[in-house]
Amino acid sequence: MYLRPKAAGLSKKFNDLPPLPLGKTAVEVIADFLRYAFECTKTSIKQRHSSGAAILESVEGQIHFVLTHPNGYEGIQQALMREAVVLAGLVPDEEVAESHISLVTEGEASLHYCIQSGLTTDFMGVSNF
């Protein structure tokens, strides 16, 4: 929420956000989180699969990251998220970020989850879609 657009009326709603760590920007905090999450994911793959290290090595540089963001985020916020991905070291630079990162709204991600998990089957069957 630290990257939220500075739209009228939103500032008061988020006045109770805790302060960022001293000397850290919101982008740096997001980068730290993304770096940590990616390292945990790689560790999990290595520990759970007998050939996990080889799998990771075989896809190095080819991983496509899909990140969600609040529905109200605009181009500026999305650019800051890409900057955080580069800062985290998930991709080497902004050019690679453009082709290896997809940003989707939380609403889109929820819809895709519902469709994939079959939660929309009853709804789709009842209506004439």
The pLDDT tens digits for 23-74 are: 999 999 999 999 999 999 999 999 999 999 999 999 998 999 999 888 888 8
Residues contacting 44, CB < 8 A, separation 6+: none
Does the pLDDT at position 11 exceed 80? no
- What residue spans define the domains of the chain? 24-126
Phi, psi values for residue 32, rounded to 5°: -60, -45
Q: How confident is the model at residue 10 (pLDDT cuts 50, 70, 90)?
A: low
Question: Among the listed ranges 6-10, 99-103, 121-125, which one has the minimum average pLDDT value?
Answer: 6-10
DSSP string over 21-77: PTT--HHHHHHHHHHHHHHHHHHHHHHHSTTHHHHHHHHTTT--EEEEE-TT--HHH
For the chain, give the mean pLDDT. 85
Q: What is the pLDDT of residue 128?
A: 47
